[in-house]
Structure 1
Amino acid sequence: MANTRACLIFLAGLFVASIANANEIQGKVTHVRDADTIEVRGIPIRLDGVDAPDKGQSGYWEGKDWMKQNYSGRLVRCILTGKKTYDRWVGTCFGSKGENISVAVISAGWARDCPRFSGGRYRKYETRRSRSVPMKKYCR
């Protein structure tokens, strides 16, 4: 029993290490947390350089619903930066048609550019509605 347990712990460590060293993950979106965080094959991915409302903020539910409608259960490919924020890996994700999901959610008005982390690369995709999303202090 102790050997089985030790083996399982070792294998779990290898799995986490493989994600940490991998620069890409592909699979179905298994869960949508909000408009800037999805789970791919159960692994949480935070969209790099995107700022969306958190739970309790205006637009949270609408943005989450938009993301679910457009990406839940669908195949995506995410290029990871190697960084983590809380329990989430940071990355840029692409839909099955090759579209950048960050651009899509910002263009739809449910998130905005987070220049501290994006370098301003998504600013040109902001709309009137996306600019109404209050920017978090950590994005400035």
Structure 2
Amino acid sequence: MLKSLTSAALLAMICVLSATSHAQATTLSGKLVHVRDADTIEIATSRGRIAVRLNGVDAPELNERGGQAGKRWMQNPYSNATITCEFNGEKTYDRWVGVCWDKDGLDLGAAVIAAGHARDCPRYSGGRYRKFETPESRKHQQHNYCK
């Protein structure tokens, strides 16, 4: 019964997020329950568990230099923290794309870049995170999808 309810809730959430346009962003809050890497997190919301790709952030993959350190950095302050994400209606793989911030209003994308664990991804950010890049963050190779 619980599995059916969970599946129904997830289906309803997917329908809502799928119908979201750029003009009508969906905002959800939840606990950060898993960090895949420095630019992909999972939050548990009232609509179920949601994988979020941080919009405009280019972090190393786990098997790339700095990938594990970026994941650990994201886990340390944010595991089980309440995170709010505004989704733009786009999806990449199994992840909804959005901008997320913590309870104090700190943008997680800006924070992980300023900490040196990721770079601005100008193709998707429009350059909004460029000012947060540091000499350490610029050492990470920018992925081709960001150029």
Q: What is the TM-score when the length of structure 1 is the normalising length? A: 0.90
Give 2:93's aligned residue.
86
Distance 1:10 1:31, change over 3 A: closer
Whose radius of gyration is greater, 1 or 2? 1
Q: 1:7 Cα shift?
A: 8.8
Q: Deviations over 1:28-75 (max 9, x none)?
A: 001000000100112100000000001210001100000000111100
Identity of aligned residues (%): 46
Aligned to 1:49: 56
Q: 1:62 and 1:17 mapped to 2: Cα distance?
A: 35
Aligned to 1:27: 30
- CA distance in structure 2 between the partners assigned to 1:21 and 1:108 by the alignment: 35
Query: Quick one: structure 1 residues 108 and 8, their matched pair in 2 at CA, closer, same or farther if it must change by over 3 Å?
Result: closer
Distance in 2 (alpha carbons) for counterparts of 1:94 and 1:68: 14
Q: Which residue of 2 aligns with 1:102?
A: 109
CA distance change for structure 1 residues 77 and 111 in 2, over 3 Å: closer, same or farther? same
CA deviations on 1:68-117 (whole Å, 9 max, x unpaired) are 00111100100000000000000000101110111100000000000000
CA separation of 1:12 and 1:50: change in aligned 2, threshold 3 A? closer
- The offset of 1:20, in angstroms, is 3.0
1:16 aligns with 2:14: yes
Structure 2 gaps of 5+ residues are: 21-25
Which residue does the alignment assign to 1:3? none
* Equivalent position SS for 1:128: coil
- Distance in 1 (alpha carbons) for counterparts of 2:7 and 2:73: 38
Please name the residue that 2:145 is paired with: 138
**In structure 2, what residue type is equivalent to 1:32?**
V
Q: Say if 2:40 is the partner of 1:37.
A: yes
User: Where in structure 1 are there 5+ consecutive unaligned residues?
Assistant: 1-5
User: How many residues matched?
Assistant: 136
Find 2:135's aligned residue among 121, 128, 136.
Answer: 128
Query: Residues of 2 paired with 1:14 and 1:126: CA distance?
Result: 38
The secondary structure found in structure 2 opposite 1:55 is coil
TM-score for both structures, normalised by structure 2: 0.86
**SS of 2:136 mapped into structure 1:** helix
